[in-house]
Amino acid sequence: MTTPWLEDARALQSKTVAFRRDIHQHPELGLDLPRTTAAVRSALQGLDVDIVQGTSNSGLIVTLKGDPAGATILLRGDMDALPMDEDTDVPFKSRTPGAMHACGHDAHTAMLVSAVHLMHAHRDRLAGTVKFMFQPGEEGDFGARHMIEDGLLDLAPAPTAAFAIHISPNIPSGVIASKPGAFMAAPDQIAISIKGQGGHASTPHLARDPIPVAAEMVMALQALVARRIDAFDPVVLTIAKIEAGTTHNVIPESAHMLGTLRSFSERSRAKAHEGIRRIVTKIAEAHEMEGTVEITAGYPVTVNNAAFVERVKGVTTALLGEKGYRDMPSPVMGAEDWSYVLQRLPGCMVFLGVAPTDVKPAHAHSCHSNRMVMDEDAMAHGVALHAAIAEQYLASAR
């Protein structure tokens, strides 16, 4: 039933690649993506679809109506880029200083645009309605949550399942990988401040130096992870920035640290929060200083519905063969605001391998690298999988 989709997707490959390269050259950041949104609208012009834009951002819901008695499935492609300069030699590299599609959202959007065309051309294969979610602001701006708050997921006919694809340069090209349960982590931001007393570097006993205290805190935080958090319910805690001082012979009055906490359960997340606060305040107090912590909660854990993962596994192997799907042994510590959608609807996210053919996947530049490149041929697998999942789900839900 699903096999013809791949041949049809390959027939659209030149258009998929052209669209991806166009928006790759013109990346936009955050929730307001006027050029990217206009490109999506232009690419869908002439198709018999409904397009609705949210009131708070550039998010679009595109609806391909099918049998009104059938179910509705939601498919997603995120559209925003990252605030970084591109350092590749591809001829279509970013023309926008300080912005790059380093996480593959250009490919996600291109695959979803082609999936609309593919399913529009073969509407007779669909036993219900397909909604396509073109989402801004995934990179830390809570775009999915904003679209939900705008009511876009509640528009009739409301979806009853959801599916999304994220590319990965560290998986062999064209291979789909996923797992049930926790799939990606909850990311929290940590800001730590230590207030001491400044002075001359030659007389540290007359000052209260926050720098060695900051170093002590970093080591204690690593011990917290290793010794106070269950190894079978893990967290990752990274202090990524330490800032203090102005010159070589002045003890600064304060030090500041920024970091991130990644977790897969509310239990370990809460325990780590409590431990971070305790370590910072008590170590500072032990050195007669003041330590404060601000923890900003990020996206929830991305949790895949087990039954839907099994559905995807079956569809993928029928579409791509037995080697076309891999079971992931563990979740990844990256984060996704697709988690908000999966809190509301049964569904899942999968990774699509896009490793360049001239390097081993483990050695490829990963997402968020300014050198990340991908094998564009793999996008045909993503386009076909969107269509195959929609077809199979709508048929089974009758």
Q: Which positions are catalytic?
A: 299, 376
- Of 22, 384, 311, 359, nearest in space to 171 by CA: 359
Calpha distance 121→173 (Å, rounded): 27
Q: Is 304 left (phi over 0), alpha (psi -120 to 50) or beta?
A: beta
Q: How far is Cα of residue 152 from the mean position of the Cα atoms in its chain?
A: 20
Calpha distance 181→184 (Å, rounded): 9
* Contacts for 281 with CB less than 8 Å, ≥ 6 apart: 291, 292, 293
End-to-end CA distance of the chain: 16
| Lateral strand order in the sheet of 60-64 | 50-53, 60-64, 129-135, 72-78, 161-168, 347-353, 176-178, 325-327
Q: How far is Cα of residue 297 from the mean position of the Cα atoms in its chain?
A: 16
DSSP label at 236? E
Calpha distance 228→357 (Å, rounded): 42
